[in-house]
Structures are given as C-alpha cells and as structure tokens.
C-alpha cells in the first residue's frame, strides 16, 4: 500500500486518514493540518516523510507561471526543502490542467456560456490558466491583483497587463523587506482614511462582473448584494460551502477539484497520488500524463446550482430618438429643451447625431419558461430619422459599430438593431460583418 501525506497550513479540524484504490493500486491518504504554523509544518514534514511515498502541501502559496515568469514563494520552497528525498508538490501542475479543463467543459456543456462574459479574478496569478482559456471566449477579463497585493484600487484589464504587472512585481513580491513595507503602508492613518473607498471599489467590481474566479476564502467578505446571480469558478466546494453560496444567491458554481471517497480532494493530494502511482516526481510529469489520468478516472468539473437551475444570458438592443420630442426625455437634454427655442433644439438635434452611443437603461427580470433569465441594455445612438437620412450609410454604420463595442464591453452576447435595419443601409448586413459580436 502506498501512502500519501498532505500537510496543510489549514485547520487540523478537517484532518482525515482514509484508504482507497487509485489507478488500480491501494492507497492510504493522511491529512495533517498545522493551523498556519510554518515551524510546526516543518516538524510534521520531517516526522512523516519516511513513511510517505509522496507528500502534498496544502493551503500554501502555490507556484505560479504567468507569461514568462515563474513565481515561487520562499515559505513554500522552505517546506519543500524539508523533504529532499521524496516527491513533494503543491499540485500546481495538475491544478493548471484542471482549471483549463473546467472552462472548456463548461463552455462545451452549456454552449456559449462564457461568450463576452465580464470575468473578475481576485488572484489573477493563481488563475492564469483559467484566464488564458477564457480569453478564447471573452476579452472582458479583469484582475484585482494590485488590490490584493498592495491595496491599490486598480484593476488590470487584460492578460498582457497581468503579465507586465507580474514581471514588474515578481522580483520584490516575496522579499521580506518588501512585504513588511507594504504591510506598514496599509496600517498608516492616511491609507486607513481611504480604506473604505478602496474596499468599495472592489465590491463594485464584483457587482459588475458576471463570473468570479476566486477561492472560497477570498469571497467571505462579499454578500448577496454583490454575488446575486454570479457564476463562481473555484475548488473544493463542500456542503458547507454550498450553503454559503446559497445564502449569497450565487447562480452557478464550477468546481474544478477532484473528488475521492465522496469528498473533495485537494489538488496537491491528487498530484501526489499520481506521482506515487506512476513512481515519478512532479517534475517528470507532463500535461499528457495528467490528461491520461483525468480520462481514465473520468474526472469532470462539477457544475452546481446552489439555488436550483439558473442561467442569465445577456443582450443589447440599439434604439434611436424618433424626433426632437424624444430628446427631451433624456437627461440632461430635458432641461435644455425646457429653456431653448426651436432653433436651438435644431442645433441640439444635429449635435446629438454625432455623439457616441450611451446606455439608455438596463433591462432585467425576463425569464423564459425553461428557467433561463435574460438581462440587457438599451443603447441609444443619437441620430433622429431626419439626421440619419441626411448622412450616408457609413455615418450610421460607424455609430452602430461603436454601439457594438460598448455592448461587448458590457458583456452582451448578441445585439439587436431593430428599426435601423429598415431606416438605412443594407438591413444590417454590413454591421453584422464588422461588429465584434453577433448581430440580429
């Protein structure tokens, strides 16, 4: 029988000792929590490693690969050094495969689910493989690393920005002096004065997202106000975690962690088991090895609905004012119309035709008979029929394409042109060819 020991920086309350079969071999799996005590974890590793065939490290700072940067936390390296003669892993290799598989499986099973979704990563470096997979379906990727690392209320808005940020901060992030300096700054009265504003900006970012990628622990400070209707991509979703998600009205959870003997198993445990079963170190295991195991065990990410089936699709619809009278119903033009003579309103009508598209209102609460929900945005393009007909088709095409870009940024999966297809041009064919999202 082979033995795998998982030494966790988490609570000892969740320790277990089970026997199971894995890849046709008998295994004993032991979890030992050290309650965040690094010295105790070192002592445990030194005492258990003679009996272990492989060791997993849980709830430690993982090893990350972001672009060309390889991130290794000194505390994790310190624990690994305690076991020089046995395979030891944080699960980083397998975790990357499972994260990417979770995205591809969900997109395949649910069909276009992540298209144009606004996705917020509370730790972009940890979720880099998820971000790369999602980037095939959406450009609306946001990373809160500056907030979580330095308390800076700034979101990174692309994979390129995340990679640049990592290359700039990685050399100093794990230096004790740098960490101490950041902690000192976060305790200063000046920072404390604006701390609520900083927290508010992160809560707003969560509210505006459609998908949240985070550990369950990172979500603890958020309420149903921010999480209602969201999809959460995470791992190790226990019954207690599902109850918590249910209380926050989370719509859907994608759990990429493997399960064994009816319980979620840490990815570090699974990778250690693979290492022991194949008699190879984690460095000797590649993506193909992990994929072979995933396929042989038929491991699939779990798609969970804490409050019953719920899916929210998103649309945008373009409208335009039919006359000057409609302009008077839109702030701040309403007060301009009240004090302006007709000649001024004629100038306003011409000027509004050149204005960029803007959101007129958000529509929500639409539900289909099968339970799917729809929310969307009415986007106004300012030209009245008189102004639209006074210009060539390209004038209107340009504004409709601006509206399409806005719709994509908002997270819409499709945009309707409505009356524009009858007023100008070729029934929307040109716009559909040029737009960055499907047009109807």
Helix (H) or strand (E) holding 149: helix 145-150
SS3 213: strand
Residue with tokens 């409505």: 418
- Which of these three, 238, 273, 304, is where a domain ends? 304
In a domain, 339, yes or no: yes
Whether 59 and 137 map to the same domain: the answer is no
SS3 212: strand
User: Phi, psi at residue 211, to the nearest 5°?
Assistant: -130, 135
pLDDT the model gives residue 201:
86
Q: In the chain, what are the helix, strand and coil shares in percent, each to the nearest 5?
A: 45, 20, 35
For residue 109, the domain's CATH number is 3.40.50
Q: Is the pLDDT of residue 205 over 80?
A: yes
Burial class (CB in 10 A: 0-12, 13-18, 19+), 311: middle
CA dist 19 and 261 (Å) reads 9
Among candidate residues 87, 418, 419, 410, the one with its CA nearest the CA of residue 436: 410
Write the pLDDT tens digit of every residue in 37-66: 989 999 999 998 889 999 999 887 766 677
pLDDT the model gives residue 195:
61
In a domain, 344, yes or no: yes
Structure tokens at 99: 């994260």
pLDDT the model gives residue 186:
62
Helix (H) or strand (E) holding 429: helix 429-434
Whether 53 and 106 map to the same domain: the answer is no
Mean pLDDT of 70-84: 81
Whether 84 and 180 map to the same domain: the answer is no
Whether 123 and 214 map to the same domain: the answer is yes
CB atoms within 10 A of CB 139: 15
In a domain, 273, yes or no: no
8 A C-beta contact, residue 125 and residue 131: no
CA dist 305 and 140 (Å) reads 24
Whether 353 and 215 map to the same domain: the answer is no
Range of the structural domain that residue 169 is part of? 93-262+300-304
8 A C-beta contact, residue 417 and residue 434: no
pLDDT the model gives residue 62:
67
Burial class (CB in 10 A: 0-12, 13-18, 19+), 286: exposed
Whether 334 and 400 map to the same domain: the answer is yes
Whether 84 and 127 map to the same domain: the answer is no
pLDDT the model gives residue 363:
94
Spatial neighbors of 266 by CB under 8 A, at least 6 apart, are 6, 8, 31, 56, 58, 91, 236, 257
In the sheet where 312-319 sits, what is the strand order?
A: 358-367, 373-380, 312-319, 415-416
Count how many domains the chain has. 3
Spatial neighbors of 397 by CB under 8 A, at least 6 apart, are 425, 430, 431, 434
pLDDT the model gives residue 32:
93
Write the pLDDT tens digit of every residue in 123-149: 998 899 999 999 999 999 999 999 888
Q: Is the pLDDT of residue 108 over 70?
A: yes
In a domain, 282, yes or no: no
Ramachandran bin of 361, using left for φ above 0, alpha for ψ from -120 to 50, beta for the remaining angles: beta
In a domain, 363, yes or no: yes
8 A C-beta contact, residue 156 and residue 145: yes
CA dist 366 and 363 (Å) reads 8
Angle at the Cα of 378 from the Cα atoms of 375 and 379, rounded to 5 degrees: 135
8 A C-beta contact, residue 250 and residue 306: yes
Whether 179 and 58 map to the same domain: the answer is no
Whether 322 and 371 map to the same domain: the answer is yes
8 A C-beta contact, residue 373 and residue 307: no
Mean pLDDT of 343-354: 75
Whether 33 and 133 map to the same domain: the answer is no
Mean pLDDT of 234-256: 95
8 A C-beta contact, residue 152 and residue 161: no
Among candidate residues 353, 418, 356, the one with its CA nearest the CA of residue 391: 353
In a domain, 223, yes or no: yes
In a domain, 278, yes or no: no
Work out the end-to-end distance of the chain between its first and last CA atoms, rounded to an integer number of angstroms. 61
Write the pLDDT tens digit of every residue in 9-18: 888 888 888 8
Structure tokens at 223: 């309420």
Whether 69 and 144 map to the same domain: the answer is no
In a domain, 286, yes or no: no
Give the rounded percent of residues in the chain with a pLDDT score beyond 70: 87
Write the pLDDT tens digit of every residue in 290-347: 999 988 888 889 999 999 999 999 999 998 887 776 766 666 666 666 666 777 777 7
Whether 75 and 144 map to the same domain: the answer is no
pLDDT the model gives residue 388:
80
Write the pLDDT tens digit of every residue in 265-291: 889 999 999 999 999 988 899 889 999
pLDDT the model gives residue 256:
94
Spatial neighbors of 110 by CB under 8 A, at least 6 apart, are 303, 311
- Which of these three, 68, 92, 116, is where a domain ends? 92
Q: How far is Cα of residue 339 from the mean position of the Cα atoms in its chain?
A: 48
- Which of these three, 275, 304, 333, is where a domain ends? 304
pLDDT the model gives residue 420:
65
CA dist 365 and 263 (Å) reads 36
- Return mean pLDDT, the chain: 87
């Amino acid at each position: 029988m082979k033995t795998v020991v998982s030494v966790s920086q988490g609570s000892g309350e969740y320790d277990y000792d089970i026997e199971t079969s894995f890849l046709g071999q008998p295994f004993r799996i032991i979890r030992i929590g050290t309650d965040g005590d690094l010295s105790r974890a070192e002592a445990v590793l030194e005492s258990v490693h003679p009996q272990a065939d492989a060791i997993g490290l849980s709830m430690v700072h993982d090893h990350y690969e972001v672009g060309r940067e390889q991130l290794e936390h000194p505390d994790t390296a310190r624990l690994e050094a305690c076991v020089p003669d046995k395979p030891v892993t944080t699960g980083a290799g397998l975790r990357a495969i499972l994260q990417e598989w979770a995205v591809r499986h969900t997109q395949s099973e649910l069909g276009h689910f992540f298209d144009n979704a606004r996705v917020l990563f509370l730790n972009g470096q940890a979720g880099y493989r998820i971000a790369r997979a999602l980037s095939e379906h959406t450009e609306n990727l946001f990373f809160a690393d500056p907030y979580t690392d330095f308390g800076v209320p700034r979101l990174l808005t692309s994979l390129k920005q995340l990679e640049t940020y990592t290359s700039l901060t990685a050399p100093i992030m794990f230096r004790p002096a740098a960490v101490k300096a950041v902690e000192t700054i976060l305790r200063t009265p000046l920072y404390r004065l604006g701390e609520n504003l900083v927290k508010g900006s992160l809560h707003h970012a969560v509210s505006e997202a459609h998908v949240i990628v985070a550990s369950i622990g990172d979500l603890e400070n958020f309420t149903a106000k921010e999480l209602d209707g969201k999809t959460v991509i995470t791992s190790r979703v226990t019954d207690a975690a599902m109850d918590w998600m249910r209380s926050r009205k989370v719509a859907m959870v994608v759990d990429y962690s493997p399960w064994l003997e009816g319980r979620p198993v840490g990815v570090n445990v699974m990778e250690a088991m693979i290492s022991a079963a194949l008699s190879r170190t984690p460095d000797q295991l590649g993506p193909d090895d992990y994929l072979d195991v995933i396929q042989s065990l038929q491991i699939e990410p779990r798609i969970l609905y804490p409050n019953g089936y719920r899916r929210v699709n998103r649309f945008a619809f373009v409208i335009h004012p039919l006359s000057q009278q409609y302009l008077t119903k839109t702030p701040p033009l309403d007060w301009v119309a009240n004090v302006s003579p007709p000649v001024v309103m004629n100038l306003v009508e011409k000027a509004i035709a050149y204005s960029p598209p803007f959101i007129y209102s958000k529509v929500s609460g639409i539900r289909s008979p099968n339970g799917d929900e729809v929310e969307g945005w009415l986007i106004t393009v300012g030209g009245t029929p008189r102004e639209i007909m006074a210009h060539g088709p390209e004038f209107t095409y340009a504004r409709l394409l601006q509206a399409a870009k806005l719709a994509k940024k908002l997270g819409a999966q499709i945009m309707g042109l409505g009356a524009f297809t009858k007023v100008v041009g070729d029934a929307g064919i040109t716009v559909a060819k040029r737009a960055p999202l499907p047009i109807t």
